[in-house]
A = this chain, B = another copy of it.
């Protein structure tokens, strides 16, 4: 459980997601002084509007905290991005291309800013404030619309040469499998993300093999989301359950591979799908790990569902800026 701020120092953690944006002001003990959360509006309609929305959310969080002086801002953003410079390289969803986010926020608020990948800050939050802060090697996997990962090795976040390490969603788990959003085939994301699951379930619905789904959301992938999938399974749709189990098993295969490669002490699995169906996901993920990780390496690994939910990102981002303000402590 890190935290390195001095007596009166305060920081803001920001989490910029595809569906929501969130900012929280923390004091030295990481008590919440104020928070603000809004839905992202998807693609920016004119230049500058995404950053304008972020600045507004930061100001609202500060207002809720009683407008204290702050000492730094930590941000989790979709990538790819350069964590050294805080430049977002290319996020079509937010309308950014080579956008100097750290610089823009630094100028606006007059404090140091650190920017990292959204999944990295989520993993960092779970690591520092979940039950695994004693672990030096941790893998975080967050299945959602895509599948992101964050890696802690030797007690440090892994960024790699490009700054964008941790693309566990683009490990190939099925040679010549279905197309992935990245253009390759058979990536984990192509067989186990929400979209991959929704695609299979939509096909079931179209064939009238999933009447609950057909009745409640039709065959449009956009409507087949975690909540309704969980309800369909509860309603007894066995083929829907089979689709989700298969996807979760693939996440277990990938987790097994990551255990073989990195030998982590803990693997944390988070994100909306797992939150909606924790038992089913953890069961199949464990099965995939037992089948694909070497016994010697998986023996003592803790496989855990994430526990901080939406707060993992803002907490991790706030912790990162605290460490940037007081390095070497």
Contacts and interface: CB of A to CB of B under 8 A. Distances in A.
Interface of A: 80, 89, 135-137, 149, 151, 153-154, 156, 158-168, 170-175, 182, 184, 253, 256-258, 260-265, 291-292, 294, 296-297, 299-301
A1 to B, nearest CB: 19
Contacts of A151: 261-262
Contacts of A263: 158-167
Interface centre among A164, A264, A292, A300 (most CB of B within 10 A): A292
A80 B292 CA distance: 17
A202 B35 CA distance: 67
Contacts of A253: 172, 175
Nearest to A288: B172
Contacts of A265: 160-161
A296 B162 contact: yes
Contacts of A167: 260-261, 263, 294, 297
Contact of A162 (B158, B164, B258, B297): B297
Given A261-B258, A291-B184, A158 B153 contact: yes
Nearest to A168: B261
Contact of A168 (B159, B161, B260): B260
Nearest to A256: B172
A163 B296 CA distance: 10
A139 to B, nearest CB: 9
Interface centre among A135, A297, A300 (most CB of B within 10 A): A297
25 contacts: A135-B161, A137-B160, A149-B261, A151-B262, A153-B153, A154-B154, A160-B264, A160-B297, A161-B265, A161-B301, A162-B296, A162-B299, A164-B263, A164-B296, A164-B297, A165-B261, A165-B262, A165-B263, A166-B261, A166-B263, A167-B263, A167-B294, A168-B260, A172-B292, A261-B261
Interface centre among A162, A165, A182, A253 (most CB of B within 10 A): A162
Given A162-B299, A162-B300, A164-B296, 6 more contacts: A80-B296, A161-B264, A165-B261, A167-B297, A171-B261, A184-B291
Nearest to A186: B292
A264 B159 CA distance: 9
Contacts of A170: 260, 294
A136 B256 CA distance: 25
Contacts of A292: 172, 184
